[in-house]
């Protein structure tokens, strides 16, 4: 059940806002969005996690695929009163064709965090937030017939909520219009049972539709002695929990320290780097999957510069350009700003960006050389 708030005292109300309450008329389909979102519901999930449901102020639809995120601007929260941007994965199920009228993000309160404190303490139904998206390709590259292993901790569960909810809806309807993993194992680490996000719903998905959910808790909560898998996740424990690990694509999301530890585990267990996929909300803190030794060297043709350079496997295109003395525009070198954006005429790359490029631009053949490593020879405009 969703709890709605009146926008003032925070008193729950049973009145559910409708589309017309926000001035919505015809839902306008689109494949990207920049504008104001109106908060339509605030739903406590745990003692420090809140679901925020949002609707486009102009009444149009909100596009996204499972695993994608939006960037939100929170005005006046910076040290000098400037706006602060934060990325939040959509946690609600996606639908096919035209997007949804409402989406939900799931926000964990971070001690000392001005944005999460604002969301938990000051955001009210009827308030607006500036948003831009969707971004990201996390979980979008489904290998035909492959199973997936989701590894998450804390609020890192949010993109997986959308993935699992969407997969369940599609399978229950018999629809196959989105790529689907053949099976899913989800290992989620939490401090205690009280910290398990959407516990009843998530555990209800386990053992249905080839889905297995394995929560791992480090401690008991005041109200419950944890009887499930206990302690910190280790490579040995992971190998026992997921014996067919080597047959699965591995997707990881959570705090940076957790991601670094988990990446080391799965690499040690022999999972190839190309089958490890990471998502992080903190620019510049996303751990890199260790590059594996390879004898491949690819050619990169920069048509604008009239140069062709060599790029060893695992090396970014920007790094190869700099090594060869080509002054390609760049700024952040982390896939955030989009300064180095280029048009790829031919070839294939693995691009591990942090929001500096839109899905539409990717479809049009654009890449970010700072976070793209070649899979073949490349020609850039």
Note the pLDDT tens digit of each residue in 246-287: 999 999 999 888 998 999 999 999 998 888 988 875 544 455
With a CB cutoff of 8 Å and minimum separation 6, the contacts of 11 are 5
Give the chain's domain count: 3
Give the whole-angstrom CA distance, residue 151 versus residue 43: 25
Same domain for 216 and 92, yes or no, is no
Domain boundary among the residues 229, 253, 279 is at 279
Same domain for 9 and 129, yes or no, is yes
User: Is 286 a domain residue?
Assistant: no
Same domain for 324 and 243, yes or no, is no
With a CB cutoff of 8 Å and minimum separation 6, the contacts of 245 are 149, 238, 239, 266, 269, 271
Same domain for 232 and 181, yes or no, is yes
Per the structure, the complete domain to which residue 204 belongs is given by 147-279
Starting at the edge strand that comes first in sequence, how are the strands of the sheet with 69-74 ordered? 84-89, 69-74, 128-135, 33-46, 49-56, 102-108
Under 8 Å between Cβ of 373 and 314: yes
Give the whole-angstrom CA distance, residue 51 versus residue 87: 15
Which of 177, 165, 196 shows the shortest CA–CA distance to 45?
196
Give the whole-angstrom CA distance, residue 235 versus residue 264: 9
Taking each continuous run of H as one helix and of E as one strand, the counts in the chain are 7, 21
pLDDT tens for the 381 residues of the chain, in order: 233 222 333 333 333 333 333 333 355 668 889 999 999 999 999 999 999 999 999 999 999 989 999 999 998 888 888 888 999 999 999 876 567 899 999 999 998 899 999 999 999 999 999 999 998 888 887 877 889 999 999 999 999 999 999 999 888 888 766 678 999 999 999 999 999 999 999 999 998 889 999 999 999 999 999 999 999 899 999 999 999 999 999 999 998 889 989 999 999 999 988 889 888 755 444 555 555 545 578 899 999 889 999 998 778 999 999 989 998 888 877 787 888 999 999 988 888 777 788 878 888 899 999 989 888 899 999
Q: For 288-342, write each residue's pLDDT tens digit.
A: 555 554 557 889 999 988 999 999 877 899 999 998 999 888 887 778 788 899 9
Same domain for 249 and 333, yes or no, is no
Which of 74, 68, 110, 103 shows the shortest CA–CA distance to 89?
68
Tell me the whole-structure pTM to 2 decimals.
0.73
Element (H, E) at 267: helix 256-268
The 3-state DSSP class for residue 306 equals coil
């Amino acid at each position: 059940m969703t709890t709605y708030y009146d926008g003032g005292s925070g008193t729950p109300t049973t009145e559910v806002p409708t589309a017309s309450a926000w001035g919505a008329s015809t839902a306008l389909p689109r494949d990207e969005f920049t504008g104001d979102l109106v908060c339509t519901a605030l739903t406590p999930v745990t003692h420090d996690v809140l679901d925020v449901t949002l609707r486009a102020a102009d009444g149009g639809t909100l596009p996204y695929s499972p695993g994608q995120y939006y960037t939100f601007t929170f005005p006046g929260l910076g040290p000098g009163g400037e706006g602060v941007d934060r990325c939040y994965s959509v946690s609600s199920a996606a639908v096919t064709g035209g997007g949804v009228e409402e989406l939900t993000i799931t926000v964990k309160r971070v001690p000392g965090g001005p944005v999460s404190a604002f969301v938990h303490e000051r955001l009210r139904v009827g308030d607006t937030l500036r948003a831009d998206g969707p971004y990201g390709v996390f979980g979008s590259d489904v290998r035909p017939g492959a199973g997936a292993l989701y590894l998450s901790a804390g609020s890192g569960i949010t993109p997986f909520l959308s993935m699992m909810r969407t997969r369940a809806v599609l399978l229950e309807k018999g629809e196959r219009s989105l790529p689907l993993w053949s099976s899913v194992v989800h290992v989620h680490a939490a401090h205690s049972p009280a910290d398990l996000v959407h516990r009843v719903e998530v555990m209800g998905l386990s053992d249905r539709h080839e889905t297995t959910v394995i929560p791992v808790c480090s401690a008991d909560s005041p109200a419950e002695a944890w009887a499930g898998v206990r302690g910190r996740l280790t490579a040995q424990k992971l190998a026992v929990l997921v014996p067919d690990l080597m047959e699965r694509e591995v997707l990881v999301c959570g705090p940076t320290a957790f991601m670094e530890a988990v990446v080391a585990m799965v690499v040690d267990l022999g999972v190839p780097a190309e089958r490890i996929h990471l998502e992080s909300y903190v620019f510049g803190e996303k751990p890199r999957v260790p590059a594996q030794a390879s004898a491949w060297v690819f050619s990169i043709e920069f048509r604008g510069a009239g140069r062709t350079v060599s790029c060893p496997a695992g090396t970014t295109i920007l790094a190869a350009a700099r090594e060869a003395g080509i002054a390609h525009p760049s700024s952040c070198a982390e896939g955030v700003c989009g300064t180095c954006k280029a048009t790829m005429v031919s070839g294939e790359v693995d691009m591990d960006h942090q929001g500096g490029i839109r899905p539409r631009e990717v479809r049009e053949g654009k890449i970010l050389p700072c976070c793209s490593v070649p899979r073949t020879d490349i020609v850039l405009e």
